[in-house]
Structure 1
Amino acid sequence: MDLRSEQLADGIEKISLIGRMDSLGGHEIDLRFAALVATRKLLAVVDLSEVSFLASIGIRTLVVNARAQSQHGGGLALANPQPLVAEVLKMAGIDSIIPVFPDVDSARSALAAAAKRH
């Protein structure tokens, strides 16, 4: 599992996850993901387009860090999940906890709009 981060022009951080978020992959990125997301206030789009599998440990990583970001006053959105991953997110009810968008641009726009309202 790999994790890449880049700052977008509007101050939103794009975090790309690549690989399988199973017990091995989730463990590989858990600390790095938390260091990026849970330690400071930010607006982050998590690009899931290259995540081929999502297990419960991966869901836990996403939810725990989204809640931490919310407590800091920031926001987290998920973008572009593959169909299998999107189905897992929906079945687990994660889409009611963390907003899921079909692409990075719509997630970024929604985060930017929400930030302006607060």
Structure 2
Amino acid sequence: MLYAILCYDNEEVVGAWSAETEGAVMGRLDAVQQKLRADGRLGPVARLMPTTAATTVRKGAEPLVLDGPFAETKEQLLGFYVVDCESLDAAIEVAVELGKASGSAGAHEVRPLMVYRPGDAGA
């Protein structure tokens, strides 16, 4: 089953990392990714641009377009992984590994994914 691992952290703290810290963190995360890739379990991985680059479109009769992120919280969604795991427990293990590799105080949210395909009305 596919799972999304959503990476939340304090954007100001992560944005203030030195090039050396950034390189070290990315190196540790890459080691986890390499293992998942070798096992054929790694899907798309992305780091989101800063929330200052975000645009929110609020739904309604008249859609409202706003600059910035949807939520105003200290921790922001900074990136995500899509992993193929046999169970939620296995996906949680991956999230724990990623958390150890990042070394920051943020959180990883694990969610099962439903894949929608054209023509699958009841999916």
Same fold (TM over 0.5): no
For the superposition of Structure 1 and Structure 2, which TM-score range results when normalised by the shorter chain? under 0.3
TM-score by length of 1: 0.28
Greater length-normalized contact order (CA 8 Å, ≥ 6 residues apart): 2
TM-score by length of 2: 0.27
